[in-house]
Structure 1
Amino acid sequence: MEYKASGIPVHYVEHGDGAPILVLHGAGVDHREMVGAMEPIFGELLDCLRLYPDLPGMGQTPASGTLNSADDVLDLLLAFVDGVIGDRRFRLIGHSAGAYYARAIAGRYPEQVAGLALICPLGENIRNVPAHQVLHASVDPGEMLGPAEESVFRDYFVVQTQATLERYKEYVVPALGLVDEAGLERIGQHWRFSGSPEGGPPYSGPVLILTGRQDSMVGYASQWDLLEHYPRATFAVLDRAGHALPHEQPGLIKALIIEWLDRVREHRIGTDL
């Protein structure tokens, strides 16, 4: 599907029907990575419309020359929300850079965002990032991947098994050749928002913050600082998980996402009384 937001065609897919959930992927991939991570969870739920857009410069959404900063991408996403979701309340999930945008959307639309889930969230003040290490390897990716794809797999996953390799091939590899490197580089030169996503009053909805103990891209330490802005947040550091946490700990992420959804539902009922 496609929605033209601010004159830019935003490609997205949707699954299910009902109350919206907007899911934002990270950098260098497209909507398929989060579809692969979330649909095994959401596919079992009723009354749930899942929206997975491609962020600019990835998948089938172009990085138009009018997009030169994170602020520009945020404006595009807000236009997408206004056009596709409208004034309905929605739940919001983001992974990595997608979580950075999710924080900003919740800051702009705090009453409309019913709940916020941040997975390996990118932040402005990353610190204490561990070096990449492979905790478990039981497969040779070179037997199934080309040299470039193999290199990405080895650098991305700390758990390298047949299961994570198959998820990588299905949900990550197809997007690698679609990345507009020049467009992402242009936007990346101004990747910080002009104002902090947490610059306003504390966000009162239920929040889930998931980090990987072995995440060598954004770490896990600086995300703890977010708790001051999110008084209803659950914070978890998962061992045996790097930046590919959704693929490496699918059982734990499913349990924590379902618990978060329960808290969002409970909070909504409480505020409607």
Structure 2
Amino acid sequence: MGPRVATTVHYVEHGAGRPVVVLHGAGVDHREAEACFEPCFVGRAGFRRIYPDLPGMGRTAAPAELRGAADVLDVLLGFAAEIAGGGEYLLIGHSAGGYFAQAMAARAPTRVAGLALVCPLLPGVRDVPAHRVVTGSAELGDDVFRDYFVVHSPEMLERYERFVAPSAALVDQAALERLGAHWELPDEPGPAYSGPALVVAGRLDSVVGYAAAEDLAHRYPRACLAVVDDSGHALPHERPGLLRGLVADWLERVEGAA
């Protein structure tokens, strides 16, 4: 662990109760995670949902002292501990956010009451399928939309234009390149995270695939694994109803464990 860097993390929050820290992926900001995961808490009281901007994205700066993923991990661990008042919190991560969420659970397992990983970035990614559109026109939207989504519908394009595209202007590309040059985190010693876990992967995810995500079902003794057909890396947008059901089951298991 390197020296702690003082970084002010911007975030938004909703509700009251047990803290739930939700981490977005690379190249976006809290708005995408907020749009995808807030519906999972509709009608469910007792959870305080916290959506931070990761360093170098949104309104959270990435000072030069942040040299790689290990430094970002320290920032996120400090943020989560502060936001939860030193107590337990639930943790959700999508894509790169899922990578950091895994590391946070490994580093501070007694603080993480539940871990949910959706299309998580993983070391050792393998068998990544080629990008393939399953629904709609291959001419819809811009190149980023077409590469990200496998469902090309007006509804998905509207979600992309509202919750994904606007964050591009706020990304510190130089900072992401600096951090990305040292993105791999070392394995934490000790047993794997043993709390209630959820792993969701898109069968057509052409960014991280699903094969490496399946390994987590063996690594986490209390993991529920779902590999979802006809969905890619944008699974939280493309299969919101299914995601809501899976998260609901995970939250019930977390509450049962408490």
Structure 1 residues 131-140 or 25-34, which shifts more? Answer: 131-140
Does 1:37 pair with 2:47? no
Aligned-pair identity in percent equals 54
- The CA RMSD over aligned residues, in Å, is 1.3
> How far is 1:140 from its partner?
5.3
1:208 to 188, 198, 212: 198
Aligned to 2:223: 233
> How far is 1:227 from its partner?
2.4
Whole-angstrom CA distance in 1 between matches of 2:234 and 2:228: 11
Report if aligned partners of 1:207, 1:260 keep a CA contact under 8 Å in 2.
yes
Match runs of 1:1-273 below 5 Å = 6-138=5-137, 141-142=140-141, 150-193=142-185, 195-197=186-188, 199-268=189-258
Normalised to the residue count of structure 1, the TM-score between the two structures is: 0.90
1:61 is aligned with what amino acid?
Answer: T
Whole-angstrom CA distance in 1 between matches of 2:82 and 2:257: 26
Aligned to 1:145: none
Report if aligned partners of 2:5, 2:65 keep a CA contact under 8 Å in 1.
no
> How far is 1:43 from its partner?
3.0
Determine helix, strand or coil for the equivalent of 1:218.
coil
1:90 is aligned with what amino acid?
Answer: Y
Determine helix, strand or coil for the equivalent of 1:186.
helix
Determine helix, strand or coil for the equivalent of 2:90.
strand
Determine helix, strand or coil for the equivalent of 1:208.
strand
> How far is 1:210 from its partner?
0.2
Whole-angstrom CA distance in 1 between matches of 2:190 and 2:122: 16
Q: Deviations over 1:13-43 (max 9, x none)?
A: 0001111000000000000001000111213
Q: How many residues align?
A: 255
Determine helix, strand or coil for the equivalent of 2:247.
helix
Determine helix, strand or coil for the equivalent of 2:9.
strand
Structure 1 residues 152-161 or 34-43, which shifts more? Answer: 34-43
Q: Deviations over 1:176-226 (max 9, x none)?
A: 111111100000000001x215x4212211100000000000000011222
Report if aligned partners of 1:6, 1:79 keep a CA contact under 8 Å in 2.
no
Determine helix, strand or coil for the equivalent of 2:159.
helix
> How far is 1:139 from its partner?
8.3
What are structure 2's unaligned runs of at least 5 residues? none
Whole-angstrom CA distance in 1 between matches of 2:167 and 2:59: 9
Q: Deviations over 1:123-162 (max 9, x none)?
A: 11000000001111158534xxxxxxx1100100000111
Normalised to the residue count of structure 2, the TM-score between the two structures is: 0.95
What are structure 1's unaligned runs of at least 5 residues? 143-149, 269-273
1:29 is aligned with what amino acid?
Answer: V
Report if aligned partners of 1:139, 1:162 keep a CA contact under 8 Å in 2.
no
Report if aligned partners of 2:5, 2:71 keep a CA contact under 8 Å in 1.
no
